[in-house]
Amino acid sequence: MTTNDSIFRAVGLNKQYNQHYILNDVSVDLTQGEILGIWGVNASAKTTLIKVLSGIVSVDTGIFYIENVPYSSISCQKGTFLGISAILGDEQLAFNMSAGDNIYLGSFQPKAFYTPWYHQKALEKEANKHLQHYQCSIDLNAKLQTLTVAERYIILIMRAVVRSAKVLLIDDCLSEMDRKEQQEFIRLLKQLSSEGFAILIASQNIIQLTQVCDSIQIIQDGYLSPKYHTKDENTYLTDVMKNRVLFPKMHLTKGDIIYQCSQLSYGNALKNISLEIHEGEIIGIIGASGSGKSTLAKVIAGHLHNTSGTTRINHRTVKIRNKSDARRHGIALISNTVDNNNLVPDMNLSDNILLGNYRQSSHRFLPFVISSTKETLISINLQDNLEMELSKSEQVKHLSNGTQKKIAFSRSIMSGAQLLLLDEPSVSIDNIGKVQIYNIINNLLLSKKAIILFSSNVLEVINMCERILILKDGEIVDEIISQETTADDLYKMIYTVN
């Protein structure tokens, strides 16, 4: 039940972190009974947008209209009072309390003459009334650990309902549910919509959004597209696939096999992974959130010890039990965060690169002394190959995400790594920074390095990789040649539920 009555509107929202625009002149308009989908790849600021709209995170500039009343800013408390409720997941739940207590957490005010027993009974009666109305069956006395993902999200929605919410802002949740849970949750959202709730749901699964939403907006590089109505002829999906970044892909002749793994497993998270990669080759591993991409990268890099399977480096069987083993055999993982790349925020750029690579940069006769000549050569190499000036004084924490990624690349190059594992390399980087990263990748391939690109960005893997492996529930379910597929087809292969 959608109407033309705007119930919640935000205009010209801007949010910066470290001089990087996370949200750039973003506008959202929710009408009564509308279900609006926000689609974006991993780390495209979907969660930030929800937190800004609900007042959890302050906005730099912008204005909010709630039932056409303007507000220059809203806090979390004011947003709740005005009927705006963010549904973010487990972080909002108290796992030491029952399901019923979680529904009324922070909102139930018993009368002075209520006894604790009467208070509990009144709570259960009210909660059961709402659950029955929305045809949801949940044991109110159950501990949250025993509930499914869908049931935990339903508890958060019931909490919003008892707080008289009018607007529900739901962060990516459908991808965590199985098919039956998804269908039940979608039914609930449509019932809420029919009763006049305005709903915004963010997800990186555009196929699921088309099943539940009246309209969809695309968030990318800090910008939000106009609305696309899902009844239209998939024009929104075509726009999603537009190539907004120049991908400077090079086509090189593959060399000998560098890395092979066979039947690699890690508990229930990874099952019988087998792959191989050659010198000068880049392959992509893509999957939805929770498919096991990051786990696989950590197992290959020795951050996690596989429970079964074999590994061969340059045709020799080796054991990768930890990060030291991986480094010794020429494997390096470049993650998508400063912490996971073991960068030290308070150290300068040069020291971070040299950290862990002192053997390559130390004086010939004084191994505990850094050679100024070698340090100068490192500086020249960085300027020539990584398009980066070496600063003696500037701390890493003041540098952009793109520059921090380049530092991680530099350290891996210095360590002599032959196989580089790139986990979401272009996340939270502007378009110029992305092209620079892609150029670095090409230079590495020219020097006969091998690269495995772990990404949730379909355009990135199609345009930069030779082969693409699709990961679902910890298993490789398909391998395709990038030139033989389209972005539309690849999205459907990744996100369609079997």
Q: Looking at the predicted structure, is the pLDDT value of residue 1 above 60?
A: no
Q: Looking at the predicted structure, is the pLDDT value of residue 250 above 50?
A: yes
Question: pLDDT grade, residue 89 (50/70/90)?
Answer: confident
Residue 94's identity, in one-letter code, is A
Q: Residue 437: helix, strand or coil by DSSP? A: helix
Average pLDDT over residues 376-389: 50
pLDDT value of position 221: 75
* Percentage of residues in the chain having pLDDT higher than 70: 75
Q: Residue 16: helix, strand or coil by DSSP? A: strand
Question: pLDDT grade, residue 387 (50/70/90)?
Answer: low
| C-alpha distance across the termini of the chain, in Å | 30
pLDDT value of position 458: 86
pLDDT value of position 369: 43
Q: Looking at the predicted structure, is the pLDDT value of residue 362 above 50?
A: no
pLDDT value of position 21: 80
Q: Are 223 and 26 in contact (CB under 8 A)?
A: yes
Q: Looking at the predicted structure, is the pLDDT value of residue 63 above 80?
A: yes
Q: Looking at the predicted structure, is the pLDDT value of residue 365 above 90?
A: no
Q: Are 263 and 272 in contact (CB under 8 A)?
A: yes
pLDDT value of position 474: 92
Please say whether the dihedral angle defined by the alpha carbons of residues 156, 178, 133 and 118, taken in this order, is positive or negative.
Answer: negative
Question: pLDDT grade, residue 442 (50/70/90)?
Answer: confident
Nearest one of 55, 76, 40 to 10, comparing CA atoms: 55
Q: 168 has which bridge partners?
A: 85, 199
Question: pLDDT grade, residue 315 (50/70/90)?
Answer: very high
Helix 431-446 and helix 401-414, axial crossing angle in degrees, nearest 10: 10
Distances (CA, A) of 244 to 23, 201, 430: 17, 24, 11
Question: pLDDT grade, residue 121 (50/70/90)?
Answer: confident
User: Where does residue 325 fall: left (phi above 0), alpha (psi -120 to 50 degrees), or beta otherwise?
Assistant: alpha
Higher pLDDT, 301 or 337: 301
Q: Looking at the predicted structure, is the pLDDT value of residue 232 above 80?
A: no
CA dist., res. 482 & res. 476, Å (int): 16
pLDDT value of position 262: 95
Average pLDDT over residues 64-93: 91
Average pLDDT over residues 247-272: 89
Rounded to the nearest integer, the mean pLDDT of the chain is 80
pLDDT value of position 363: 44
Lowest-pLDDT choice from 145-149, 162-166, 177-181, 414-418: 414-418
Average pLDDT over residues 107-136: 69
